[in-house]
Amino acid sequence: IDTAAGPVIRQLDDTVISRIAAGEVVERPASAVKELVENAIDAGATRIDVEVADGGKSLIRVSDDGCGIPSEDLPLALARHATSKIDGSDLLAIRSFGFRGEALAALGAVGRLTLTSRVMRCDAGATIASAGGTLGAVRPAARGCGTTVELRDLFYATPARLKFLRTDRAEMQAVSDIVRRLAMAEPGIAFTLSQVTDGEARVSFRADAETGDLWGALRGRLGRIMGSDFTENALAIDAEREGLHLGGFAALPTFSRGAATHQYLFVNGRPVRDKLLTGALRAAYSDVLSRDRHPVAALFLSCDPELVDVNVHPAKAEVRFRDPGTARGLVVSGLRHALAEAGHRSSSHLGG
Ligand code: ADP
Ligand code: MG
């Protein structure tokens, strides 16, 4: 700094701005997988295939059979703040996973991204590439209806971030965790997760689409992901309070764990890690579990999008309820009520 003249303020160029913004959206391979799978869900896919090599560091490929992207829109899909999901008029009524229009741009800024897609009304698909934020030309490409996003060499353009990644094994574990979480909330969609080694893909997780009624499908999917011993030892939860609905399954106290690692919480279909909700889950079991035991549950809170703000964080793992007390009360009373009915009477009254 020139002490006489003061510091020089410069406008950063777009590539640098994109890379900084990308850092908030994409922290590690699992966050890239999350964005891509959520895009596929938003596109109405009925099957989603995820392929990963080296824990996602060298390759992430997500293919879906959703609505696709018209070839003329491919460059726009990779532009920052471009989205088909909201028009900006009602940020409080978001029903899709995406809305920031940031993910593809961010991924294209920090890795080598290829977006290939075809919509129903066209006989041919098209493809576009982005490397470190530089867009290539749109070229024709053969594929069925739907979209494939291939992301190679994540963070090659931001070596500092690359250094923070953990082992391939740990990154793969995080990828697997997020795919499972997303699959839990979407029993109607078939998912596969494959590990690619030397060009060979080996399926490490498969969840076929569940059919039947909503509860049956959910129970089937949860059983496949969390284990059938969970669903066999779980109580169905179905409670409502002031426009909030709580559904899902919560295990009997006898099926508790030594760590709070088997608690899956969703708000309007999104996996969340929310202190308010995990605190409520803990409180609901406080009279029937000792302090070193933790309940196992998969809980789905749903409400009008206006009652919850999902705009808190770019990675969207946090939410903010308009009325946190109601959300907490519903979880506590809904679970206590189910536990009491199953004969695990708590000492405090059931009002929550
Ligand atoms: P957002 O999801 O917030 O809209 P993204 O950067 O993730 O932002 O995606 C930008 C746009 O690209 C989306 O709004 C959508 O129109 C399109 N898109 C991305 N992925 C897919 C997909 N798998 N299928 C169809 N369209 C997609
Ligand atoms: Mg998105």
pLDDT tens by residue, 301-313: 999 888 988 766 6
Of all protein residues, the one whose alpha carbon is nearest to atom 23 of ligand 1 is: 40
Say how far apart CA 108 and CA 342 lie, in whole Å: 51
Residue of 128, 150, 120, 109 lying closest to 23 (CA atoms): 109
Ion ligand 2 contact residues with beta carbon within 5 A: 39, 98, 103
Cα–Cα distances in Å, from 39 out to 30, 83, 90, 104, 214?
14, 11, 20, 9, 23
Domain count, the chain: 2
Residue 19's CATH number: 3.30.565.10
pLDDT tens by residue, 86-117: 665 555 555 677 667 788 998 998 899 999 99
pLDDT tens by residue, 217-241: 999 999 999 999 999 999 999 999 9
Confirm whether 1 is domain-assigned.
Answer: no
pLDDT tens by residue, 30-59: 999 999 999 999 999 999 999 999 999 999
Confirm whether 346 is domain-assigned.
Answer: no
Residue 282's CATH number: 3.30.230.10
Decide if 156 contacts 112 (C-beta within 8 A). Answer: yes
Ligand 1: residues with CB < 6 A are 35, 39-40, 43, 64, 66-69, 77, 82-85, 98-105, 147
Say how far apart CA 191 and CA 75 lie, in whole Å: 28
Mean pLDDT in the chain?
89
Q: Which domain holds residue 146?
A: 14-207
Query: What is the value of pTM for the model shown?
Result: 0.90
How far away, in angstroms, is 321 Cα from ligand 1 center? 26
Residue range 162-181: mean pLDDT, rounded: 94
pLDDT band at 350 (very low <50, low <70, confident <90, very high): very low
115 and 146 assigned to the same domain: yes
Decide if 72 contacts 41 (C-beta within 8 A). Answer: no
Asked whether residue 72 carries a pLDDT value surpassing 60, the answer given is yes
Confirm whether 351 is domain-assigned.
Answer: no
Say how far apart CA 311 and CA 245 lie, in whole Å: 21
Decide if 36 contacts 23 (C-beta within 8 A). Answer: no
72 and 198 assigned to the same domain: yes
128 and 230 assigned to the same domain: no
52 and 171 assigned to the same domain: yes
151 and 235 assigned to the same domain: no
Last residue of a domain, which of 207, 233, 267?
207
Last residue of a domain, which of 158, 174, 207?
207
180 and 286 assigned to the same domain: no
Ligand 1 atom closest to 68 (CA): 25
Ligand nearest to the CA of 88: 1
Decide if 34 contacts 178 (C-beta within 8 A). Answer: yes
pLDDT tens by residue, 75-94: 999 988 777 766 655 555 55
Strands 134-135 and 139-141 come out as unpaired
Question: What residues are paired with 195 via a beta bridge?
Answer: 52, 202
- The DSSP line for 302-340 is EE-GGGEE--S-TT----EESSHHHHHHHHHHHHHHHHH
Residue range 240-259: mean pLDDT, rounded: 94
Of all protein residues, the one whose alpha carbon is nearest to atom 21 of ligand 1 is: 39
Say how far apart CA 28 and CA 38 lie, in whole Å: 16
Asked whether residue 144 carries a pLDDT value surpassing 90, the answer given is yes
The burial class, CB within 10 Å (0-12 / 13-18 / 19+), for 72 is: exposed
How far away, in angstroms, is 272 Cα from ligand 1 center? 21
40 and 151 assigned to the same domain: yes
Ligand nearest to the CA of 43: 1
How far away, in angstroms, is 342 Cα from ligand 1 center? 44
How far away, in angstroms, is 158 Cα from ligand 1 center? 23
- ipTM strictly over 0.95? yes
Say how far apart CA 282 and CA 291 lie, in whole Å: 9
193 and 275 assigned to the same domain: no
How far away, in angstroms, is 305 Cα from ligand 2 center? 18
What stretches of the chain adopt beta strand conformation (E)?
Answer: 47-53, 59-64, 112-118, 125-131, 134-135, 139-141, 146-152, 190-197, 200-207, 234-241, 244-251, 263-267, 270-272, 297-303, 308-309, 320-321
Last residue of a domain, which of 177, 207, 237?
207
Confirm whether 8 is domain-assigned.
Answer: no
